[in-house]
Amino acid sequence: MQKWKLLSEREVLKAVVFRYSQKKLKSPVREVTGDFDIVSCANWVNVIALNQAGELLMVRQYRAGTDELTIELPAGALDPAEDPLLAAKRELQEETGHTAINWKHLGDLAVNPAFMTNTCHVYIARDCAKTHDLNLDELEEIEVLKRPLKEALELFRNGSAKHSLSVASLGLAYLQGELSS
């Protein structure tokens, strides 16, 4: 099993949140070439944020992709060259007004290695406290939800909250022994 060889690449277009390019690749073990769609987004962060009362912080907002009101973990895109931990702290503060001293990196996810290039960095922040007002982008409308952890996990279990990157972040927390099932 080896990596395929790049024969050519061309950028098709730049959208607002992604660039779309096409790669022509050749298998090193067979005489096969193929054209592959490549979608490049900024890297992202997701934050599992718990306050001192043991409540999980979540954000409720309208999402254009699914045309639904969703419940998700605080999350967002890194600014160019931004440190992932600083981005996690910034997004948590902007979306929930909460800050924390106690941060831990849980891991990095490949969003979709099949056709997406980017990484989602996942952190857990404990002992969060409300220290700031929300600071939202022009197109963001966010309601902050706080629920006891067990009750919050039930929202993810029963499908009320179902963003794949939120659930993957919880998966990493289970794998790292930071949550018990």
**Any contact of residue 114 with a copy of itself (CB under 8 A)?**
yes
Shortest distance in whole angstroms from residue 57 CB to a copy of itself? 16
Point out which residues pair with 122 in neighbouring strands: 46, 107
Rank residues 23 and 126 by Cβ distance to a copy of itself and give the closer one: 23
**Any contact of residue 42 with a copy of itself (CB under 8 A)?**
no
Rank residues 99 and 142 by Cβ distance to a copy of itself and give the closer one: 142
Q: Which of residues 84-103 bind a copy of itself (CB under 8 A)?
A: none
Indicate the SS3 state at residue 150: helix
**Any contact of residue 25 with a copy of itself (CB under 8 A)?**
yes
The DSSP result for 51-70, as a single string, is ETTSEEEEEEEEETTTTEEE
Cβ atoms of 98 and 107 closer than 8 Å: no
**Any contact of residue 31 with a copy of itself (CB under 8 A)?**
no
Rank residues 76 and 100 by Cβ distance to a copy of itself and give the closer one: 76
**Any contact of residue 19 with a copy of itself (CB under 8 A)?**
no
Rank residues 31 and 133 by Cβ distance to a copy of itself and give the closer one: 31
Q: Which residues does 56 contact at the CB level (< 8 Å), separation at least 6?
A: 48, 49, 50, 146, 147, 148, 149, 152, 153
**Any contact of residue 10 with a copy of itself (CB under 8 A)?**
no
**Any contact of residue 149 with a copy of itself (CB under 8 A)?**
no
Q: Which of residues 55-84 bind a copy of itself (CB under 8 A)?
A: 60-70, 72
